[in-house]
């Protein structure tokens, strides 16, 4: 009685709504606490890289474009996509052109990753996640906290040492800031630990965007996101978390709605915009992954 009076519907209907939503929130909460690390290899199986013949994820050198600019052909194409995206998304909170600009600006000519631009790119990425609905809400909230931690390091007395990912790693290792054991609950995470969590989440979103960009519309958005999850994080999760994830992805909007989010009319336009964006994300991800690998920091608790 109280249940129906509170929400204006019968208890069974409320329960049918609350059960899947509760599973979604539980999955996102657990995932945001400690996202596992995907390997430099795009495909993993039982926690190890797949054999060459099994690797079916993101064939980056097998992308063909029949019309329009090649999304992997250089700055001229990149500038064209940015200009078009900013024009088409004018007035919207999320503008994929701004996100693309931010990720592109992360990497300097000498292959350094600028932390300020990295955080700005994530701020734009959060707008994208929020536009996709509740399924990404917990991850975006957790990421805002991590952005604030890193921004505080950038604005602090040692801010110069946090200018790039490389300089941050060097400074924190030399000054004993990095904690290679479980982090005490009353201690602020190091910059390296904080960035690593964002770095891990970035791989999942990168593969998701790639899947949408290369799918001509036969599959559902939920299926494309689930596939990205299976190829990046699922191998590191328990059976229970994987089942909860399957339910969570069902809340994603259809492809047509996602096309509206990225301000394109159809798959042909989406392919160019999304693959150009993915290319910029991949460059940032790979450079960051290499630095963490070199410094044996991929498993920071």
Residue 169 has pLDDT above 50, yes or no: yes
Rounded to an integer, the average pLDDT of 172-182 is: 89
71, two tokens: 């999304």
Give the model's pLDDT for residue 101.
93
pLDDT, one tens digit per residue, over 117-163 is: 999 999 999 999 888 877 777 677 888 999 999 999 999 999 999 99
pLDDT at 94 over 60: yes
Nearest to 295 by CA among 194, 173, 117, 134: 173
> Residue 72's pLDDT band (boundaries 50, 70, 90)?
very low
- Give the model's pLDDT for residue 181: 80
Residue whose pair of structure tokens reads 């809340």 in the numeric block: 251
Place of tokens 């394109």: 264
pLDDT band at 167 (very low <50, low <70, confident <90, very high): very high
Q: Look up tokens 């996100």; give the residue.
A: 99
User: How many Å apart are CA 61 and CA 186, to the nearest integer?
Assistant: 46
Q: How far lies 26's CA from each of 14, 113, 169, in Å?
A: 18, 33, 32
- List the domain boundaries for the chain: 72-294
Given a cut of 70, whether residue 206 has pLDDT beyond it is yes
Place of tokens 């042909």: 268
Separation of first and last alpha carbons in the chain: 46
Q: What is the 3-state secondary structure (H, E, C) of the chain?
A: CHHHHHHCCCHHHHHHHHHHHHHHHHHHHHHHHCCCCCCCCCCEECCEECCHHHCCCCCCCCCCCCCCCCCCCCHHHHHHHHHHHHHHCCCCCCCHHHHHHHHHHHECCCCCEEHHHHHHHHHHHHHHHHHCCHHHHHHHHHHHHHHHHHHHHHHCCCHHHHCEHHHHHHHHHHCCCCCCCCCCCCCCCCHHHHHHHHHHHHHHHHHHHHHHHHCCCCCCHHHHHHHHHHHHCHHHCCHHHHHHHHHHHCCCCCHHHHHHHCCCCCHHHHHHHHHHHHHHHHHHHHHHHHHHHHCCCCCCC
What class has domain 72-294? mainly alpha
Share of residues in the chain with pLDDT > 70 (%) = 73
**Mean pLDDT across 104-112:** 94
- The string of pLDDT tens digits covering residues 243-286 is 877 787 888 888 888 899 999 999 999 999 999 999 999 999 99
What's the CA gap between 187 and 165, in Å, rounded? 21
Beta strands in the chain (DSSP E): 44-45, 48-49
Residue scoring higher pLDDT (110 or 71):
110
């Amino acid at each position: 009685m109280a249940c129906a009076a509170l929400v204006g519907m019968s208890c069974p209907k409320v329960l049918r709504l609350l059960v899947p939503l509760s599973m979604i929130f539980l999955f996102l909460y657990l995932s945001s606490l400690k996202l596992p690390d995907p390997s430099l290899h795009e495909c993993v199986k039982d926690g190890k890289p797949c054999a060459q013949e099994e690797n079916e994820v993101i064939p980056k050198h097998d992308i063909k474009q029949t019309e329009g600019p090649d999304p992997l052909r250089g700055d001229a194409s990149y500038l064209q996509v940015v200009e078009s995206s900013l024009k088409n998304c004018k007035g919207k909170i999320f503008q994929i052109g701004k996100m693309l600009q931010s990720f592109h600006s992360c990497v300097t000519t000498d292959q350094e990753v600028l932390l300020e631009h990295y955080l700005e790119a994530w701020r734009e990425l959060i707008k994208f996640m929020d536009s996709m609905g509740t399924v990404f809400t917990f991850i975006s909230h957790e990421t805002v906290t991590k952005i604030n931690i890193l921004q505080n390091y950038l604005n602090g007395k040692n801010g110069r040492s946090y200018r790039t990912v490389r300089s941050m790693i060097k400074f924190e290792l030399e000054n004993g800031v990095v904690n290679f054991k479980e982090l005490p609950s009353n201690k602020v995470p190091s910059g390296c630990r904080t960035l690593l969590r964002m770095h891990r989440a970035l791989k999942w979103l990168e593969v998701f965007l790639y899947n949408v960009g290369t799918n001509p519309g036969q599959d559902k958005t939920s299926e494309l996101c689930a596939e990205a999850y299976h190829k990046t994080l699922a191998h590191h999760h328990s059976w229970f978390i994987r089942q909860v994830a399957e339910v969570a992805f069902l809340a994603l909007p259809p492809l047509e709605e996602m096309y509206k989010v990225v301000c394109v009319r159809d798959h042909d336009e989406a392919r160019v915009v999304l693959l150009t964006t993915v290319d910029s994300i991949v460059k940032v991800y790979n450079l960051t992954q290499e630095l963490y690998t070199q410094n044996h920091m991929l498993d920071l608790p």
